[in-house]
Amino acid sequence: MSNTFVYPPLRSTRNNFKCPNCARPLVQLDEQPQTWRCDNNHSFDMAREGYLNLLLAQHKRSRNPGDSDEMIRSRQRFLGAGYYRPLSDAIVSAVVNAAGGFEQRVVDLGCGEGHYLQQLREASSELTLLGMDISKLAVRLAAKRNMNALLAVDSVFNIPLFDNSIDTAVSVFSPISADETARILKPGGTLIMVGPGEEHLSGLTALIYQQTVPHRGNNQVLENAPQFALQQQLDIKQSIVVNGTDILDLLKMTPYYWHSRPEQQQMLAELDKLETIIHFYITVYHNQSG
Ligand SMILES: C[S@@+](CC[C@H](N)C(=O)[O-])C[C@H]1O[C@@H](n2cnc3c(N)ncnc32)[C@H](O)[C@@H]1O
Ligand SMILES: [Zn+2]
C-alpha cells in the first residue's frame, strides 16, 4: 500500500482543509487514514495516489474543468526537461526568503502537475506544502510525485482552507482571486505571483502571429487590490533553445496552441530547434488585510 495516505499531523484542525459542504474542519481518521471527515459526517476519501477531491459536482462548470489533459501532460514533460529552471530557482528563493523558518505553510494555488511544489520540497523538507488545482488529472499527477504535500482538487475562487492559515501563497500562471487569497493568508503573509514578461516566448509567437501582442497573463489582477502591498518585482529574462519534440509540448502547454493553424503546428513539429526568449515577472506582495 502506498504511504501517501498518511500526512504529517497538522498542528490544529484549522490547519486542515475545510469541508466544502459545511466549512467545518476535515480531519483524517486515525483508524481509516484514507478518509477525511468533518464533525457533520461529510466524508471524503483520499484517492489512491493521495489527494482529496473537494470540488462538489454543483460547483463544476464543465465535466473536466481546468486545463485539458493534453496541456497538462505537455507542461509536465516540458517543465520536467528543465527549460524554466531560472524561474523555478527564483520561485524557490522567493519562497524560502519569505518563509524564513520552520513549519511555514506554503500553498501553490493552481499548482498544475506539481512541478514547483516538487522544487520547493527538494529545497526544503521543513516547509508544510499544500497545493490545489481545479484539474483532477493535474492534482493526480502532482500526488504521484510523492513529495509529502497535502493536495486537493478545488477552485482558487473557493479555496478549501481556513482564514489566516497560510504563510506564503504561490500562483504561477494561474487564475487568482484577491479576496480569497487575502482571506487564507495570515496578516503580513506573502503572495508570490508569476506571470509572463512582454518578451515571453517571442521566438514561438513570431512563428504563429503576424504581429504579436504581449500576453499579460494575470500580472494585472492584483495591481489595484487593496489587500496587497507590493514588496518587490523580479524580472527574469533568458534565451533558451528548445529541442525536438519539446517544441510541440511548449506550444501545447500555452494558449497559443488554440490560435495556431494546423500547418503551423506541422511546421513546428518538424523543427529541430527553436530559439526563444523566456521572460517572467515574479511579483511579491504582503497581505495587508486582516
Ligand atoms: C497555465 S497552468 C499553470 C500550472 C502551474 N502553476 C504551472 O505553472 O506549471 C494554469 C492552471 O490553473 C488551473 N486552473 C484553471 N482554473 C482554475 C481554478 N478556478 N481553480 C484552480 N485552478 C485552476 C488549470 O487547471 C492549470 O493547471
Ligand atoms: Zn461538512
Answer yes or no: is the C-beta of 130 below 6 A from any ligand 1 atom: no
| Nearest C-alpha neighbor of 84 from the set 236, 274, 216 | 236
CATH number for the domain running over 49-287: 3.40.50.150
Query: pTM of the full predicted structure?
Result: 0.94
Residues, beta carbon < 5 Å, ion ligand 2:
19, 21-22, 24, 38, 40, 42
Answer yes or no: is the C-beta of 236 below 6 A from any ligand 1 atom: no
pLDDT at 174 over 70: yes
* Half-sphere exposure of residue 213: CA atoms within 13 angstroms, side-chain side: 3
> pLDDT at position 4, please?
46
DSSP β-ladder status, 166-172 and 105-109: parallel
The type of residue at 32 is Q
Residue 64: pLDDT band by 50, 70, 90 thresholds?
confident
Q: How far is the centre of ligand 1, averaged over its atoms, from the C-alpha of 196 (Å)?
A: 14
Q: Where are the chain's structural domains? A: 49-287
Residue 135: pLDDT band by 50, 70, 90 thresholds?
very high
**Backbone φ and ψ of 136, nearest 5°:** -65, -40
Answer yes or no: is the C-beta of 37 below 6 A from any ligand 1 atom: no
Q: Whose CA is nearest to atom 25 of ligand 1?
A: 66
The ligand with the least distance to the CA atom of 38 is 2
- The three-class DSSP label of residue 276 is strand
Q: How far is the centre of ligand 2, averaged over its atoms, from the C-alpha of 151 (Å)?
A: 18
